Amino acid sequence: MIFGVPKELPPFKGIEEYRVGLSPMGAQELVLCGAKVYVESKAGQAAGFSDADYEKAGATVVYSKEEAYRRAEIVLKVRRPQQDEYPLIKEGQAIMGFIHLITARKEFLKTIADKKITLVGYEIMQKEDGRLPVVIPFSEMAGKLSVQIAGRLLESPRGGRGILLGGIPGIPPAEVVILGGGTLGCNAARTFAGVGANVYVLDIDRNKLDHLACHTASMKVTTMFATRHNIEKIVRFADVVVGAVLVPGKRAPILVTKDMVKTMRRGSVIIDFSIDQGGCVETAKVAPSGKFIYTIHDVIHFCMPNATTLVARTATHALTSSAFPYLKMITELGFERALRESHDLTKGVYADNGEIRKEFLP
């Protein structure tokens, strides 16, 4: 099996991408399994991995993006290919990465069909119990990262409310609202509560709320059902709202409307991690300029579609370790047999030889 690892292109002007589709550790393990790995020069540099690291691992460094694509049977990406990469994709090639097809360009859909591409999305790969094996570590990272982001945006020089998340004796802490009680929401809740903030988590799934309540019993975390009434009521006094909603393969539902945003306090912060799938806040967007921090109705919005790129080395290790068992299976069994025999990989197929599964069409 031959894998190609191109250097990631920025998803939008002004939004850099520092992660890479495979770490040197992963490359070494695949080579030991009998695979060949071609890595574009400097693909891992921004994440702290040099060309020499990949060569030491047994990979071959190539000096153009075209060669990384041309040599590969399977292209390992972090995000779906960008427009400049469409001509580089070979007919019948397989591509694996966080694809988020629901927000893809029509030109990409046409490229999939015309070139008979097989597309595997890490974000929809699913175990039989419903868990998302590659998404989980990224959700954990995003949940913990949300505290760093919120703390900076709340600072006075950034136009924030000028408050400390955890407060101090005699001065109350920040009020943090988290929409979604899954892995991301749970990690965000625990981390915000860990620094002393008052945390409210809303979800429609009673099991998730029960699970979260058990894991935060000694913390200042309140769970609520995500009804429209509750959301309207609670965002009014929120200092921070975190969107942590995920419907695999589908557009995120709008939970916070524009009118709700208007009721929020001046200098409060919205962090919408659902932006990859359209966002769960009506005012959340990625501007054509790539500006992902902006203010609407005096509320600061953070809508970065690749937020874990801020911790690119950790993110690349997480991606490699979670995807590696499947890459090893593909190397040992061949791609088509692995797709047939692995429930998780089968669930992750967006398109098979150019045919896009109907449920994932935008």
Q: Which residues are catalytic?
A: 100, 276
Burial of 13 (0-12, 13-18, 19+ CB in 10 A): exposed
| Terminal C-alpha separation, the chain | 32
Q: How many CB atoms lie within 10 A of CB 268?
A: 26
Q: At a CB cut-off of 8 Å and minimum separation 6, what does 176 contact?
A: 150, 165, 192, 197, 198, 199, 200, 238, 239, 240, 241, 242
Radius of gyration of the chain (CA): 21
3-state secondary structure string across 175-216: EEEEECCCHHHHHHHHHHHHCCCEEEEEECCHHHHHHHHHHC
* Separation CA 360–CA 78 (nearest Å): 19
Distance CA 325, CA 195 (A): 35
Tokens 């699970």, residue located:
211
